[in-house]
Amino acid sequence: MRDLLNPLNEPEPEINVPVLTPKPVKKMERVKQYAADKIATARKYAKYKFNKLINWLLEYIPPKPKVIDKAFEHVKKSIIDLFPKKEEPFTVKETESALNKFTTQYTIAGRDNFDADSFMDRSRPLVIKLLENNHEIKFKMVLHCIMEKTNIKTGEVESHLQAFHSEIGINLESTYTDEIYSEMMKTILERPATFQKSGSNWIFNSVVSFDIHTVKYKPLKVSSYIPLHKALKGKKAIEVLRA
């Protein structure tokens, strides 16, 4: 029987193939480092959000529910009605004058929570009294209002001071002051409505002031006497009456 060869007893073979040594790839190292940094950043952010949520839960105090008692609200309203807030009365003041008061401006200050109609209605007694104390004048009323409109695209609110004028009126001894005030009030109130319907999208906000401008007015009176010429007077056919 043939002897089997024992490989351990054989001499070491000579291998002329170079031995490969593994080396790190620089590009892969950069990718690994970038990924590690991103993971660390994500962990820090998650930890921050988690801590913020925990702090909010610890500090949050829910509001106490409001218990609505209809009986209590009714009593409260009744007490408030017994002691209403005193509203500051409307007043008219002389604000400007010129030429030794030949021309004068009177003003009623504006108020909140009044539309143009109700404001002029509340001002009626003051203006009528002013006219009754100042005859032989021409006058005009001007209502100054804040108008607003909203820009649909930006949502910004634009404000504008707008003046609405009446026609010029004459106040004499025989003038019905209440009637002429009603006519001027109607004219003024028609102007904001026309202004709003013109497509400008302006809406009424508040009254700033209500001005009454007056100018002294002396109508001509038949009180002069011009004597006739001697030639006409001698004919005794024309007579001039003395006023």
214, pLDDT greater than 90: yes
pLDDT of residue 212 exceeding 60, the answer is: yes
Residue 13 lies in a domain: no
Task: Note whether residue 146 is domain-resident.
Answer: yes
Q: 115, 204 in Cβ contact below 8 A?
A: yes
Tokens at residue 178, please? 């209440």
Domain count of the fold of the chain: 1
pLDDT confidence of residue 127 = 92
Domain extent for 109: 92-216
pLDDT digits (tens, 9 = 90+) for 20-77: 776 665 666 777 777 888 888 888 888 888 888 877 777 766 665 655 566 667 777 7
- Asked if residue 84 is part of any domain, the answer here is no
Which has the minimum average pLDDT: 12-16, 137-141, 145-149, 189-193? 12-16
Is residue 15 a part of any domain in this protein?
no
The residue behind tokens 């921050």 is 48
| Contact between 146 and 206 (Cβ < 8 Å) | yes
User: pLDDT tens-digit profile of 82-129?
Assistant: 666 666 788 899 999 888 888 999 999 988 788 888 899 999 999 999
**CA 112 vs CA 88, 116, 193, 223, 230: distances in Å:** 12, 11, 20, 51, 72
The answer to whether residues 211 and 107 touch, using CB atoms and an 8 Å cutoff, is yes
For residue 143, is it within any domain?
A: yes
Residue type, position 148, single letter: E
Q: What are 143's strand-pairing partners?
A: 164, 210
Say what the pTM is: 0.55
- Phi and psi, residue 171, nearest 5°: -115, 110
Residue 74 lies in a domain: no
In this structure, is residue 202 part of a structural domain?
yes
Residue 96 is part of a domain; what is its CATH number?
3.30.1490
Per-residue pLDDT tens digits for 129-165: 999 999 899 999 999 998 888 877 777 888 888 889 9
Residue 188 forms part of a structural domain:
yes
